[in-house]
A and B are shown apart, each in its own frame.
Chain A
Amino acid sequence: MVQNRILFTTDLHGSNICFRKFLNAAKIYKANTLIIGGDITGKGIVPIIKQEDGSYKAELFGVEQTAKHEQELKNLEEKIGAAGFYFIKVSKEEHKALSTNEKALMEAFNSLMVQRIKEWVALAEKTFKNEKVKFYMLPGNDDIFEIDSVINESDYVVNPEGKCVLIDEEHEMISTGYANITPWHCPRDIPEEELEKKIEEMVTKIENMSTAIFCFHVPPYGTKLDQAPKLDEKLQIVIEGGHVVMTSAGSVAVRKAIEKYQPLLGLHGHIHESRAFDKIGRTMCFNPGSEYGEGIFHGALINLDKDKVKGYMLMTG
């Protein structure tokens, strides 16, 4: 008898389709605990520009898209949302103005990100609120702080940032979406020392480490979970001998904490291309990876018994 079945996903980056697949996967595989491990907001806005003839034009993945009537426009909006992007419908003049106004653009971004998280939280509530399923949605280093309040306002979906939550009778979970500094200096990038301090503060709240879960967006340094292409100072990928140089991009503080406290489980994301599982001592660590842009859902299904990971599977759909 499995005590708790966790479905963990991460780095959805605004992809409506991946979020909906996540919800459906939870239903199909009868998961009791649903966790999104950070980076839930999208990265780009696709301007849908109104043309003189009343049609709309946009470019998605390098391909020009035209919508001549309402239904086509709706399809285009869905397509953009599925890929994790936001859209704004603008005239040519508005588009030109937005292109040169950084402040207005960031306001548009914030508003669209908040709106989508509101929609996701509402959909999660509608789907699972009346079932015995727990739902955790953790903001990650890429996510703006404005979305925290949207999640916090829900009486169902829990934002576990900085907290120690009891996901069932036996298993406590501490979580953080903060990451060590990345080349992009994202909203929740902090120095390793600060991250270590945050983790240490949370650890004090755990009663039983042998059954505890560390849900840290950034993976532990020097594992199969944190292999990313090396970048130079211009953020260009370093290629040597025709081959990309890979490097560890995880957090030393996270690794240190896992090595020191040896929890039952580590749930991580952040590095999309490092879909893997690895063991640090007794701690089983997962990074399900992400292909949100392709609309491909990645998740980790984990069967937990009291103090052991009974079974696990990295899944794609």
Chain B
Amino acid sequence: MSEEKKLFVRRTSGLTRIIGPFAAMVFGVHCISLSSSGLIPYAWVPWLWPGCDLIAVLTISMIFCLFHATTYAQIGSIYPRSGADYVLGSRVINPMLQFGASFMFTVFTSLTAGALIAWIPSAVLPSFLWSWGKIFNVPHLLDWSKWVSSPTGVLVVGLIFVVVTYVCMIMPTKIIVRILNTGFFLGVIAWVLMYISYLMGNHEKFVAAWNKFAEIPYDQVIPLAQQHGLTYGPTPWWIMTLAGLIMGFWIYYGYYIPNFFAGELKEAPRTLIIGNISSLIVTWAIFTLGAALMYPRLMSLEWMAAEGYLYYNTDVWALPFSTFYANILWPHPVPVFIIMFAFVYTLVNLAMTYFFYNSRIFFAMAFDRALPEKIASVHSRLASPVVAMTLCAIIAAVGVALSVYTVIFVQFNFVLYACLVQLIPVTAAVIYPFVRKEEFSRAPKLVNFRVGPIPGITLIGCITLGYLLWMITSTYLFPAVGGFISGLTVGWFLSFFITGIIIFNIMRYYRLKKEGMDILWAYKEIPPL
């Protein structure tokens, strides 16, 4: 049939809207974050799992995330619309349950966006100001480093960055994409400069640089950490596997976000699968190369574990950040400035992606009329969902304040929250071929392929579901891995979830009474006559 015409077409109108695979990958990379996730693994992994192999953790977690990334690409391909997983779960499982879960998730991650923005003054800026102060001998910068990470400093600078992020996000999508693309290239340049810094050094050079710029001499770091309670030993393989599973969410969380704006993607199935997987692989490559150049060339993992331990558990001065190591190895103003600027810029990019996808989920809910329709309104000149974005910014500002003045985020377990919420759409994906047979038969190839007699979406969905369930279980079994879960953690989760369900029912009652419309109709499947 190859030389024959497969379809005769006539001249008619009609096209589909588009964000391409590259832009989707950039969104994913920024949500994973070249800055925060560029700092987390090096500081947290050796500290949380003393004795583990960082490269193995990065690789194992990436492999598990590939299944999850594929499931989410399939979800977005079934209903390529804003908030695609909300759309699927609400249509296939239950609208009220899915609304409650998505509402909880959106409020929670909008708060988290604030906490991430607070990272700029609490972690990124102090590290750079300290480097600059020491490298260029400017005592004021050392004072600023301390002020900026004080509660007042974090609040003031954090709120400024919330406003900066908000202003960026109410711009037309075209401009947002440009800002993110710039951040991507800037981030890559910063990492290349960091690689060069690491390559310029060796262990002796690193020790000398450390002793010149740090407050605690290199040789005293491990004994000091041990005095404060650090124990170090080889990590069993199963802990490694657990670490990989959980770290997948800590480090790589974000590769699947194009799913939330699937309605704006070009050829959704192709863009989603390329975007999700490439963002995962690109960040894996960047972080793994960083790890390979650092350990054990510059320092041992045990030393890094001690640094992380001191930073997170004691008041002893410590800076367990990959950026700081690069700066002290190559203390030249140009690379130091570029790395600092890129890390702050990409941290804003990270918050932007949170704002972007959360606003789309709010938009999808309002489009179903389960939230006030104002939230679904799009500004005529900016072509941006300004009201939904404002809502995200307000919640993020609250998140900044909460992260400064409360220990509330200690009660939030990100992995637990994200996994619980995803149970509904992933279950929907698993059962989709059986409960929506007719739709499934016409679904894109990415969705309706089979592995033997089993639908691919069910098979991959089951692996993803197992992955989610195991992570939920392991956060209980191994609190050190995912974060401690208290009654309050569950209480917060339930309060958000129940608030969502109450809002859904209030809106349903209101629409029925005032407009004669039952919003449940919007979620119903209509079989052909």
Contact = CB atoms under 8 A, between A and B. Distances in A.
A257 interface: no
A191 interface: no
Contact of B18 (A13, A79, A244, A272): A244
Contacts of A58: 6
B115 to A, nearest CB: 29
A109 B18 CA distance: 30
A242 B528 contact: no
Contacts of A85: 7
A44 B4 CA distance: 15
Contacts of A294: 442-443
Interface in B204-220: none
A317 to B, nearest CB: 3
B282 to A, nearest CB: 15
Nearest to B17: A273
A202 interface: no
A17 B528 contact: yes
How big is chain B's contact interface, by range? 35 or more
Interface in A12-56: 13, 16-17, 20-21, 23-25, 27-29, 39, 43-47, 49
A312 B517 CA distance: 7
Contacts of A27: 529
A98 B517 contact: no
Contacts, number: 176
B295 to A, nearest CB: 35
B380 interface: yes
A58 B22 CA distance: 33
A34 B264 CA distance: 30
Interface in B408-432: none
B177 A241 contact: yes
A304 B443 CA distance: 35
Interface string A280-307: 0000000000100011110001010000
Contact of A241 (B181, B369, B515): B181
B12 A24 contact: no
Contact of B515 (A224, A231, A310): A310
Nearest to A18: B528
B456 to A, nearest CB: 15
B10 to A, nearest CB: 6
Contact of A311 (B5, B26, B515): B515
B382 to A, nearest CB: 12
B7 A303 contact: no
A141 interface: yes
Given A28-B524, A244-B20, A317-B524, A57 B1 contact: yes
Nearest to B18: A244
Contacts of A20: 528-529
Nearest to B379: A224
Decide if the interface of chain A is mainly helix, strand, loop or mixed.
mixed
Interface string A91-109: 0100110110000011011
B452 interface: no
Nearest to A315: B522
Interface string A254-269: 0000000000000000
B485 to A, nearest CB: 38
Interface in A55-112: 57-59, 62-64, 79, 82-83, 85, 92, 95-96, 98-99, 105-106, 108-109
B378 A224 contact: yes
A315 B521 contact: yes
Contact of B10 (A63, A109, A240): A109
A25 B177 contact: no
B174 A241 contact: yes
A228 to B, nearest CB: 6
Given A24-B529, A184-B13, A99 B5 contact: yes
Nearest to B367: A314
A313 interface: yes
Contacts of B380: 222-224
A184 B514 CA distance: 44
A242 B22 contact: yes
Contacts of A315: 521-522, 524, 526
The residue in B4, B7, B9, B16 that gathers the most chain A C-beta atoms within 10 A of its C-beta is B7
Contacts of B1: 49, 57, 59, 64
A47 B5 contact: yes
Interface in B16-30: 16-20, 22-23, 26
Interface string B160-197: 00000000000001100110010000000000000000
B383 interface: yes
B517 A303 contact: yes
B228 interface: no
Contacts of A273: 15-17
A47 to B, nearest CB: 7
A127 interface: yes
Contact of A313 (B4, B10, B26, B517): B517
Interface in A208-227: 222-224, 227
A273 B5 CA distance: 28
Contacts of B439: 295-296
A94 B173 CA distance: 49
A246 interface: yes
Contacts of A29: 521
B140 interface: no
A186 B12 contact: yes
Given A20-B529, A59-B6, A295-B439, A242 B177 contact: yes
Given A245-B174, A310-B515, A313-B522, A141 B13 contact: yes
A2 B18 contact: no
A205 interface: no
Contacts of A47: 4-8
6 contacts: A23-B529, A99-B8, A142-B12, A142-B13, A184-B12, A228-B15
Given A44-B8, A244-B18, A313-B522, 19 more contacts: A16-B528, A17-B438, A44-B7, A57-B1, A95-B4, A99-B5, A227-B17, A229-B16, A237-B15, A243-B19, A243-B173, A243-B174, A270-B13, A272-B15, A277-B373, A311-B515, A311-B516, A312-B515, A315-B526
